[in-house]
Amino acid sequence: MLNRRGLSEAAELVRAVILRADRRISVVAIDLNDFKGYNDRHGHLAGDRLLAEVAAGWKGLLRSADVLARTGGDEFVIVLADTDLASAHSLLARLHEASRVRWSAGVVEWEPGESFEDVLHEADKALYLAKTTG
């Protein structure tokens, strides 16, 4: 599983390939709902197993060109190559069906000329909105 630095490097590589073909890239910020409560009830070892299980389930539904990284305790980012917003939302519905935990996501398209840090900030803002509005 990639960390934040590996994510940035992999995302820039995906971007270089996809934008040359004039295709879209979507970036998804994900946060597990009530993960702290899960850790408090079941212990940190169980929480670590849950994170690995969730990530493995998602990875099985992603394409090889997509990038999945854990960026914080219960936070993940997915870079979806050749994927517009509508397709990203369709994939997220499938990821929700495959997951035994509830989570929230913010999805944005990575616009040409936008830095990876900027698109991550936009995805985080969309995630925050999703968490506060349900």
Among residues 54, 66, 55, the alpha carbon closest in space to that of 1 is found at 55
Q: Model's pTM, two decimal places?
A: 0.92
Give me the CATH number covering residue 99.
3.30.70.270
User: What is the C-alpha separation between 72 and 86, in angstroms, rounded?
Assistant: 26
pLDDT in tens, 64-98: 999 999 999 999 999 999 999 999 999 999 999 98
Structurally, how many domains does the chain consist of? 1
Cα–Cα dist 21/16, whole Å: 9
Q: Which domain holds residue 41?
A: 4-133
**Which pLDDT tens digit goes with each residue over 6-51?**
999 999 999 988 877 888 999 999 999 999 999 999 999 999 999 9
User: According to the model, what pLDDT value does residue 2 have?
Assistant: 86
